[in-house]
Amino acid sequence: MNSRRLGGKVALVTGANRGIGRGTALCLAEEGADVLVNFRTHAQEAAEVVTEIQSLGRRALAWQADVAERAQVDAMIQGAVKHLGRLDIAVANAAHSVRQPVTDLDWEVVQRIMAVTQFGVFHTCQFAARRMVEQAQGGKIIIISSIHAEAPFARSGPYNMAKAGINHLARTMGAELASHHINVNVINPGWIDTPGERAFFTEEALRQGARRIPWRRMGTPRDIGRSVVFLASEDADYITGSCLRVDGGFMVGLTLPEAVPEE
């Protein structure tokens, strides 16, 4: 008998080849789950995650799909069931961000951000929920959102909008699926040390920024992965439609700048 919390479960994680998705996939596998590792690009990274999961004694499969493409998400869910037998846990993690002022954004850029970060989450959650309802054995759906859903960080308008939208989607689906014992919850990560963040900030900027977080460090993908494991486990069976902020105190530590002296 598998004593790990997720023994015998099958999970799908979108955007699992790097960053939060990778950390989540590995944490789920460490707790006994078999994992479908979704990726759009960087196939070699996805293959490495699969190898790491298999080294833990779990089954794993890399699946290329753009979550913005509805038919590809449908095929991916069906593929998880065909190759791994069922679907118990779905983690909608994949996102896309471009940081520019709203006045400077090209419409095509906005559409891509929304297609991945909002509609991609919808596709993943909807198709996963349909499968879980069909299985009639409950399930766990976890959306990886952001503190951007709570705070209007500059240069992130469409991303902020998408994240706020998927948080409300989680609450709505939590209400709709409770009678099926399918839990739907959302995690709002704070400032997490990922390849995506390093595309926007220098090493020194990250180091200085980490010192301003009350916990005195940036979060790691494993910080989020362990939170996902909790929400995916029986320990969270009575939690649905909820938001778990995992940010080292970032939000509660926000303060106004020093007042400018009057002349």
| Residue among 221, 100, 247, 93 at smallest CA distance from 159 | 100
Distance CA 150, CA 166 (A): 12
Per-chain mean pLDDT for the chain? 96
Q: Of the listed 145, 146, 156, 227, which one is catalytic? A: 146
The yes-or-no answer on residue 82 being catalytic is no
Which residues are registered as beta bridge partners of 12? 36, 90
Q: Of the listed 159, 233, 238, 242, which one is catalytic? A: 159
pLDDT value, residue 128:
99
Q: Of the listed 9, 140, 163, 227, which one is catalytic? A: 163
User: How open is the CA angle 64-65-71, to the nearest 5 degrees?
Assistant: 140
Using an 8 Å Cβ cutoff, are 63 and 80 in contact? yes
Single pTM value for the model: 0.96
Q: Where are the domains of the chain?
A: 10-245
pLDDT value, residue 74:
98
The yes-or-no answer on residue 163 being catalytic is yes
Kindly indicate the confidence band of residue 196, based on its pLDDT and cuts at 50, 70 and 90.
confident
Task: State which CATH number among 3.50.50.60, 2.50.20.10, 3.40.50.10810, 3.40.50.720 fits the domain covering 10-245.
Answer: 3.40.50.720
| pLDDT, tens only, 44-89 | 999 999 999 999 999 999 999 999 999 999 999 999 999 999 999 9
| pLDDT, tens only, 8-35 | 999 999 999 999 999 999 999 999 999 9
Out of 79-93, 129-143, 145-159, 197-211, pick the least confident. 197-211
The yes-or-no answer on residue 145 being catalytic is no
Kindly indicate the confidence band of residue 1, based on its pLDDT and cuts at 50, 70 and 90.
very low
